[in-house]
Structure 1
Amino acid sequence: MDTNWAGSIMQMLDKAVKLVWMNCLWVIFTLIGGIVLGVMPATASVSFLVRKMIKNEEIENVFQEFWKYYKNSFKSSNIIGLSFWVVGLFLFVDITFLIQMEGMIAKVLLIGVFVLLFVFLGVLLNFFPIYSRFEMKIMEYIKLAFVMAMTRPVTTVFMVLWLCVVTILSIEFSVIIPLLFNVLIILGINWLSIVRIEKKDYELISYNK
């Protein structure tokens, strides 16, 4: 029993070290890609590795597997990322503009934009688990991410809430940012995807492959 207990502790420590190393690689390769071109393939690479960890698949060399997936996903993830950047910038400008306006119409429009922001976050968060699992045409990733965000609103809400929780914790405990910020977000959304989507709605995912 003592041996099993010690083995479990060692496995937990090994996973913790790998998670920190993944987050460091995410920061490094996001900067290497000039942030704009680095963030999507770096995030996709972390999602791929985290997914393997959740499913208890062996990760022999974190750097080698990260680098391999980063290279393979660089072009396609950035093409998709361009659409996310454009929509995100559009929503940011709209919110910034409407907050400064007064009147009922501005408030109604602001509520509408916040609804669109929630949908945008839902599609973005659902995208990475899908991208790390399936091989599809570029537009099919966005289509399936949108379908999952809209047809599974409870899971989408949990994903957005998890994003908020990790962000708040990171503001309170800034040490999380360089060590685990991105990895914790991806860990949560991949776990939700596997547990709440794939096991219950495999037929829907298979249909949209």
Structure 2
Amino acid sequence: METNWAGTIMNIIDKITKLVLINLLWVVFVIAGLGIFGIMPATAAVNILIRKLLVGEELSNLFGSFWSEYKKSFLTSNLLGIVFLVFGLFLYVDISVLFGTESLLGKGILAILFMIVIIYFATLLHLFPLYARYEMKTLNYIKLAFVLAMSKPLTTMLMVLWLFVVVIITLQYTVIFPLLFITMVNIGVNWLSMKFVEIEII
């Protein structure tokens, strides 16, 4: 019994250590990619490694695995990032122009834009688990992520709730950001995707 208990504790410590190292690698590779070109492939690599941990796959060489996934994901993930960045800038500009308008039509359009922003972030939450699990054409990731964001509202809300909880905790304990923020967010989002979404995708 004592041996099992000690083994369980060691296993938990090992998992937490790996999560911290993956988060630190995310920070390093985002910087290595000059920020804007590093954030998408680094986040893709995090999701792929997190998924392997969730299914019990052994990760003996974290740096090598991260670097390999980062390289493989660099082009496709950055193309996805460009699409989201352009669309996000479009939304930002439109909302900035209409914000504070007294026009009834303007307020109506602004309300629609805010709903699109919610769908935009919901689609982004579904994107990376799909990217980590499936291989498909670049735009098909966005299409499927959008469909899932709309057709799985409960799962999407749970993802948003998990993100909110992690953000609140991180704001209270800022040391979490460089150590566990990215991995905490993605372990929850990937678990929800694996549990409630991907099981229904043929």
Shift of 1:55: 1.1
1:165 aligns with 2:165: yes
* Deviating 4+ runs (over 6 angstroms): none
Question: TM-score normalized by structure 1?
Answer: 0.91
Deviations 1:51-79 (A, max 9, x none): 11111111111111000000011011111
Q: Which runs of 5+ in 1 are unaligned?
A: none
Query: What residue number does 2:62 align with?
Result: 62
Deviation at 1:103, TM superposition (A): 4.5
Which residue does the alignment assign to 2:95? 95
Q: CA deviation at 1:188?
A: 1.0
In structure 2, the partner of 1:131 is: 131
Which SS does the other structure have where 1:180 is aligned?
Answer: helix
1:81-92 equivalence runs, <5 A: 81-92=81-92
Alpha-carbon distance, 1:108 to partner: 2.7
CA–CA distance in 1 between the matches of 2:137 and 2:94?
A: 31
Pairing 1:20-99 to 2, within 5 Å after superposition: 20-99=20-99
Offset of residue 127 of structure 1: 0.7
The count of residues paired between Structure 1 and Structure 2 equals 202
**Larger mean Cα displacement after TM superposition, 106-115 or 151-160:** 106-115
SS at match of 2:92: helix
Q: Give the letter for the 1:47 counterpart.
A: N
User: What is the aligned partner in structure 2 of residue 141 from structure 1?
Assistant: 141
- Equivalent residue number for residue 115 of structure 2: 115
Residues 166 and 96 (structure 1), Cα distance of their counterparts in 2 relative to 1, 3 Å cut = farther
Distance 1:143 1:89 in 2: 19
Structure 2 gaps of 5+ residues are: none
1:150 is aligned to 150
Cα RMSD of the aligned pairs, angstroms, is 1.4
3-state SS of 2:197 partner: helix
